[in-house]
Amino acid sequence: MESSLIAQIDKDRLPKHIAIIMDGNGRWAEEKGQERLYGHFHGVESVRNIVEGCAELGIGYLTLYAFSTENWDRPVQEVEGLMALLVDTIRKEVPTLNKNNIRLHVIGDMQMLPEFARKELNEALEMTAANTGLNLVMALSYSSRWELMNAVKQIGLDVKAGKVDPETINQDTLQQYLSTSQFPDPELMIRTSGEYRISNFLLYQLAYAELYFTNTRWPDFRKDHLYEAILDFQMRERRFGKTGHQIQNETTLAS
């Protein structure tokens, strides 16, 4: 099935940036009569598979919503288990990331992470910094409201310090203060497990993204599901506020 799906994908119309809310790990485990951490453990295999799939296709950026600021309110045992799994996974995956020329990035409030987790993350960031292929962005201890609040606060401080003229502030100004300032906005956002919301994830950056929802739990999500999402994306007309006729005319002129 994978080969037939990938053959249908137009490699000239790939989304430059895909963002994924990896939902359903805990429910997947509970449905199998297991503890929630069992689902997170198996979700790691899905991460490997989808990262590989994006790298093979030539996707430039992949952002994975791994842990939100709201997730800190989950049971202590689950949070501690997630942190241990995170560190263990990063430690094991760095050689594979380097082998496949994948650069790791992290967005979120890293100060909330345990010291051992920050240490492993910073080492992984340094060890993959020279890679020039897929940019893998992990959203850890991240929430969009936190990000926007920090951006506004920093703009205010820079205005007060005379570094920014408030009369010149525009959309580009705000974008420069976001934690994603070095990445293009996602063109495709995928959420697994049948939830139809974006849950405080990249609220500003997803303004013109195509949203794709699937009932598949994250531990079951594989390359063929990714290809289906990309094919769905390629069937949509991205107008950015313009009419369909305008887009068609611009496409004709460009060709």
Q: Catalytic pick from 12, 25, 49, 71?
A: 71
Q: Kindly report the pTM of this predicted structure.
A: 0.91
Predicted local distance difference test score (pLDDT) of residue 80: 87
Concerning whether 71 is annotated as a catalytic residue, the answer is yes
User: Which residues, 6 or more positions from 122, have their beta carbon under 8 angstroms from its beta carbon?
Assistant: none
Predicted local distance difference test score (pLDDT) of residue 238: 67
pLDDT digit string (tens) for the chain, length 255 residues? 667 999 999 999 999 999 999 999 999 999 999 999 999 999 999 999 999 999 999 999 999 999 998 889 988 888 888 888 888 898 899 999 999 999 999 999 999 888 988 999 999 999 999 999 999 999 999 999 999 999 999 999 999 999 999 999 999 999 999 999 999 999 999 999 999 999 999 999 999 999 999 999 999 999 999 999 999 999 998 655 555 555 566 555 555
Whether the CB-CB separation of 18 and 188 falls below 8 Å is answered with yes
Q: Catalytic pick from 10, 12, 23, 49?
A: 23
Concerning whether 165 is annotated as a catalytic residue, the answer is no
| Residues 65, 108: Cα–Cα separation, whole Å | 10
Predicted local distance difference test score (pLDDT) of residue 90: 87
The size of the chain, in residues, is: 255
Q: Where are the beta strands (DSSP E) in 22-153?
A: 61-68, 103-107, 135-142
What tens digit of pLDDT does each residue of 232-247 get?
999 998 655 555 555 5
Residue carrying structure tokens 């997730």: 71
